[in-house]
Structure 1
């Protein structure tokens, strides 16, 4: 009898590299081959397929895949009937949600979505955009953009665009101005409803989620380890933030102590001078793979 396997979709394209790196931190080594849509993974309980994020929810909903990673935006775009297991906040550039925004030419008279009544909007995000304007009672013409969407306004092919952005830099570089945010989106782990009802598959999906979330959390955290005389430890504790109480251990044949804790990465540059000032020595900072 064949061993059970979970059929998992990995997003192809802009998120592919970030996803493979995230899985590596979580404990799975994925090896892709040129022009091969079925990457290898060092887990006999997984079977992987590369799919465009735009199509992932459709494949999961139909049962071609048991689970997959795709954007919240594409789930909404396709109105897919899938189980959203969890948010996984990561992207190709940063660990923050991306935004679908409504943008117009910098010198246009349009200031609000209502100003675009009767106008043409170009976007890849057609279904959601049509529903957004319909629900707002604003009559517009929405047409599909096959690429280079920012240029559509510049070339006079559309009055506005709906485009995805993280920082807005590319939109500004094309001389466009954002007049509304339609949706914040991030990567989500989704599952087929039948697969989610299967105890073995559900357990495997939950394990994936736990370790992926642990890897994401670790990206913002570091471990700090330091030595100090026993009479300085209370002062050090007064400086240290911590997820839980720091670990304190006696050094071998010494009245000195070792203090170890986990803190947010962004705090370290301010913490180290303070720790040195209250008597900490031999401070070591090291990265983490997972915080579960």
Structure 2
């Protein structure tokens, strides 16, 4: 009997050792959105793991495949702790009562205006009256492109014909010649340029030229329900620091993208596109989360309200952290 009790006790001790931190009250893994290949954010997990950037044993990440169209539901349902949102989309939700907040940097705007290599168009203004393909009308990619264009006198709702669709469908329309231009994100834009398309504008450059700012505007920030953020401030701060490390790595060492080209959606034979990634994609990775970023978010929301993209400027700020209330 004593032998049996000893074996049971030893087994329980072994299980306890395996469970370890969980039984000791360690914070559970953060369920964070896993961007799909073909998006700039898909580089995060690959780079973090490849370079061992998560050096904090108390910060455990559970990468969850998240549909951008369902992210609010996933956050609200508790199946996702941390997602990514842009200012315009979040403002829309805030006006409907959502309490999701931005708390750290994710990606700067990396939208591109592209035409075919033999196109006569040289700048966005040349496309007045023409046809452009881009993402869904409610997507942050389109909304921020519309905001930036409005600052230089182009109304994408009135001055051009816009066809909204999936990136794959838009690319097919573009390559068949059914549309005159495409507005798309990286790394798709780089893949198209490598095939002979010509870039005529960056959404970030249009924004900077119109506002006099020197930094690319934020496209997406880390987002969570305020209740989760308030209950997990220390974890949120560690997550922000981790994203700043991985994004900072790309900004300092753009060539780090070459080793993970396949993991962000490039095919093995797309060597030309892969070679273009370091110079074209690195600026997309945001590292700042301060008053200058908050001013950009406020400006994006202000212009969106003036354009009628959102009903009104939300009564609350959309961001927290780094001294923001």
TM-score (norm 2): 0.47
Determine if the alignment matches structure 1 residue 202 to structure 2 residue 225.
no
Higher relative contact order, structure no. (Cα contacts within 8 Å, ≥ 6 residues apart)? 2
Query: Aligned in 2, Cα 1:197/1:130: closer, same or farther, shift over 3 Å?
Result: closer
For residue 83 of structure 1, the aligned residue among 91, 94, 101 is 101
Q: What is the Cα deviation at residue 210 of structure 1?
A: 2.9
Match of 1:231 in 2: none
Gaps of 5+ in 2: 1-22, 95-99, 205-215, 254-325
2:68 matches 1:54: yes
Instruction: State the alpha-carbon separation in 1 of the partners of residues 76 and 55 from structure 2.
Output: 28
Which residues of 2 match residues 186-197 of structure 1 at below 5 A?
Answer: 188-197=221-230
Which of the numbers 81, 106, 109 marks the counterpart of 2:117?
106
The one of 114, 131, 136 equivalent to 1:120 is 131
Cα-to-partner distance string for 1:203-262 (whole Å, 9 max, x where unaligned):
2211232344356557759xxxxxxxxxxxxxxxxxxxxxxxxxxxxxxxxxxxxxxxxx
Whether the aligned pair in 1 keeps the contact of 2:136 and 2:164 (CA below 8 Å) is: no
Task: Give the alignment of 1:78-227 within 5 angstroms.
Answer: 79=92, 81=94, 82-88=100-106, 99-124=110-135, 126-127=137-138, 128=140, 129=142, 132-133=145-146, 135=150, 136-138=154-156, 139=158, 140-147=161-168, 149-165=170-186, 169-183=190-204, 188-198=221-231, 201-214=232-245, 217=248, 220=252
Contact 2:33 2:80 in 1 (8 A): no
CA separation in 1, counterparts of 2:165 and 2:183? 10
Aligned residues: 196
Structure 1 segments, 4+ long, off by >6 Å, are none
Task: Give the distance between the partners of 1:216 and 1:88, measured in 2 at CA.
Answer: 8
In the aligned structure 2, how far is the partner of 1:12 from the partner of 1:126?
A: 20
Distance 1:142 1:156, change over 3 A: same
Q: How does 1:26-41 map to 2 (within 5 A)?
A: 26-27=54-55
Tell which structure's C-alpha radius of gyration is larger.
1
Where is the strand percentage greater, Structure 1 or Structure 2? Answer: 1
Report if the CA contact (8 A) 2:134-2:162 is conserved: no
Q: 1:10 aligns with which of 33, 38, 52?
A: 33
Change (3 A) 1:218 1:12: closer
SS at match of 2:178: coil
